[in-house]
A and B are shown apart, each in its own frame.
Chain A
Amino acid sequence: MDLFHNLIFGFSVALSWQNLFYCFLGCLLGTLIGVLPGIGPLATIAMLMPITFTISPVGALIMLAGIYYGAQYGGSTTSILVNLPGETSSVITCIDGYQMARQGKAGPALAIAAIGSFFAGTVCTLVIALFGPPIAEMALKFASPEYFSLMMMGLIVAAVLAPGDMVKSLAMVFLGLLIGCVGTDVDSGWRRFSFDIIELTDGIGFVVIAIGVFALGEIVSNLGDPEERTVFTSKVGSLFPSKDQVKRSAGPIVRGTVLGAFFGVLPGTGPAIASFSSYMVEKKMAKDPSRFGNGAIEGVAGPEAANNADAQCKFIPMLTLGIPASGTMALMLGALMIHGIAPGPTVMTQRPDLFWGLIVSMWIGNLMLVILNLPLIGLWVSLLKVPYRLLFPAIMTFSCIGIYSLNNSPFELYLTAFFGLLGFLWMKLECSPVPLMLGFVLGPMMEENLRRAMLISRGDPTVFLTRPLSLVFVIITVLILVVMALPVLKKRRGVITG
């Protein structure tokens, strides 16, 4: 049994005391930067890279990887507690996680987030060990037509399934698409909606909008509500999830892991898509979708699992093909190359200690994170008893530091404030910002892939139907539309004949 031997070998590497220490250090640092908004794993790893020159390549990669997936854990904490997304990928967790916290269920939400992440991390470790290289080869089959069809499917499904006022959520999707248009046009290099403001030429950052709309918007609207100004919530409730909560989370965690692994392997998808789609799926599968947005634990469990699975599976194309699926992965690739290791098809045979040591260390790291995070839950929850007059300025300060540290740009602070106002406005108008975020994330990617597909096919739109994978996504999209439209049509007919 090759795999067995390899894993044993991996354990022997990862369990050496130095590597255990680096793993722990990475996880701890990752949790910290995950909790702080703005300061992400990318900047942290870039700053720490020179330090890793002096340690062994295996230890360096183990520590940098720990920072990376540790940040995914930490990012959910502030999302749940104070509606402040610590990382891009934890925006979705804000929606139901924060509502749970408001209802005094912050403990169970944090615990389920940690458990879901751990489950996803374990499964993905196995997936990488078992199928890493073949999966990566398959991911290369995804070209622009496939990406476009896949994203179109996602957007249409999301728009169709959105609850409440259909017109409002469509309007928010389109607004998101429009905001996504700001920046430099990829084909011509012309600037769109940049109003001659140099900072807008690269578009608007996801974190700027997320922190503005979610965290600042929430603070403003809370201040406008004179009733609940003293403390966040007086009832803290149980710290750990009940049997029923665990039972309801099991399915979402498994589905979220599968979705996250799928998107993680594809190099052309960003960090938020996995958790977005998991949320949409859970909402669709729920018996009572109206609970979503009001503190449904499924809305925390699924996306958190998805986002950790996505983060971990991004290692597959990086290690086995030398293809960086994200900025952070590009940095890890750079770090490896500086150590004289060229990731690629040969890394498994040339540096088995690195490959298997890293994989096993990721599992150990995930375990460490659960052990690190579960006892902290009590501490985090007690934070909620801090009076608003102290908590709000603290959140504002951390948000500002975080945003400024993204690009050292004061302009992004003004932009965040602007989106904070918009967030407040949308809250008053009862427009959910989630469809907006979805449009904002998917729009630019859809546009890029659509235009590239059309450029390569020299303007022939049948390219989306002649490529098998793309065709599958188109067929699924049409089927979903038909299924959704049928009951409505039937009802109409009923009205007419009756």
Chain B
Amino acid sequence: MKSVKAVAAIVVLLLVAGVASAQNYPTKPVRMIVPFAPGGASDVVARILSPVLGKELGQTILVDNRSGASGNIGVAAAAQAPADGYTILLGNIGTMAINPGLFPKFNVSPVRDFVAVTQVVDVPTALAVHPSVPVKNVKEFIEYAKARPGKLNFGTAGPGSNGRLEMEMFMRAAGIDLVQIPYKGGAGAAAIGLLGGEVHCAFVTLASIMTHVNAGKVKVLAVAAPHRIPTLPDVPYFPEIGYKGMKSGSWQGVYAPKGTPDAIVKKLHAVFVKVMADPGVVKRLQDSGAEVVTSKSPAEFAEFMKEENDKWTKVIKEVGVVME
């Protein structure tokens, strides 16, 4: 009997503690899982955010790098964490929208197993060509490629990478045929291949090639963004020239495990919106090539993620990429 009473007492205590935690949240350090290695684009964003976020929440933010398996290891760790607001995930276009299509056997679903909190950044990507390709705009590039079917190469960070899928989407819309040349070592390696002229073109983040654009070593034909980029006022964005679906680059957002109390999700959303408006954060992110984009509400971000999932799953099916 004693033990039953003790158990009951503990259960009651835990329940009370649970309610209390939603009100005073957070009362202990918050762990932010980054599903990529230190130094990657996601990690940089996390490192820029975390000090300001910590100040806002009044708690330390522990950045926990769980890299591996295209980010799936970190995503799985976050999905299995207690849904109490003390574990959040910094997901990106790859882990939250592309991987579900690539890894149908992976048993964690970003849409089903997470609560979307807010988008934080968008890193615009660009269709970049080596200067040896004699074209000045997207139209000329398509004509040039159509005259040489299967002869031009594009660099990617692997068959399931964002840059590959963007190019496949563009190729289908434009009716051209280019050959994929995958690079190990991420998008940086593919950018080096483009710079050295080993490949003719690639979809790369603007940040990785901006200095070479200024030096005339790479030409940017168009950017995947919802508007023109201030630093490249003469370069069109894709929706402007008829490619409606290509309006976002490589985005990142914050998630909490499914079941995290609404009050905590709302608080996290409010805090993140505030953090992302901090002038220091905005400036640092801009300098590193990312634009601050926050969602109006968790529901809006959930909607955006659903759209992105559908879009990429469709491309993956059409191209026939299977990563098993």
Which B residues lie at the A interface, using CB under 8 A?
37-39, 43-44, 47-48, 50-51, 63-70, 72-73, 76, 102, 153, 158-160, 179, 181-184, 188-189, 191-193, 195-196, 198-199, 207, 210-212, 214-215, 280, 283-284, 287-289, 321-324
Contacts and interface: CB of A to CB of B under 8 A. Distances in A.
Given A143-B196, A322-B212, A456 B181 contact: yes
Interface string A313-357: 000000001111001101100100111101111100000000000
Nearest to B54: A50
B288 A334 contact: yes
Listed from nearest, the 8 A-B pairs whose CB atoms lie closest are: A46-B38, A344-B211, A331-B39, A189-B323, A189-B159, A342-B211, A201-B69, A140-B196
13 contacts: A42-B38, A42-B39, A142-B196, A191-B324, A331-B38, A334-B44, A334-B288, A342-B211, A346-B211, A346-B214, A407-B73, A452-B183, A456-B153
A186 interface: yes
A268 B192 CA distance: 9
A199 B38 contact: no
A15 B115 CA distance: 52
Q: Determine which residue in A144, A267, A323, A339 has the highest number of CB atoms from chain B within 10 A of its CB, and name it.
A: A323
Contact of B37 (A327, A344, A455): A327
A376 B95 CA distance: 46
A321 to B, nearest CB: 7
B198 A267 contact: no
A141 interface: yes
A319 to B, nearest CB: 11
B215 A345 contact: yes
A188 B196 CA distance: 24
A334 B290 CA distance: 11
A18 interface: no
Interface in A252-304: 267-268
Contacts of A188: 159
Contacts of A47: 38, 47, 63
A46 B322 CA distance: 33
Contacts of B199: 456
Contacts of B158: 184, 186, 189
A53 interface: yes
Given A337-B289, A338-B288, 14 more contacts: A47-B38, A141-B196, A184-B158, A189-B322, A190-B323, A191-B324, A198-B72, A199-B68, A268-B192, A324-B188, A344-B212, A346-B211, A456-B198, A456-B199
B160 A189 contact: yes
Nearest to A326: B185
Contact of A53 (B39, B183, B207, B284): B284
A444 B184 CA distance: 10
A334 B159 CA distance: 25
A345 B47 CA distance: 28
Interface centre among B39, B73, B193 (most CB of A within 10 A): B39
B66 to A, nearest CB: 6
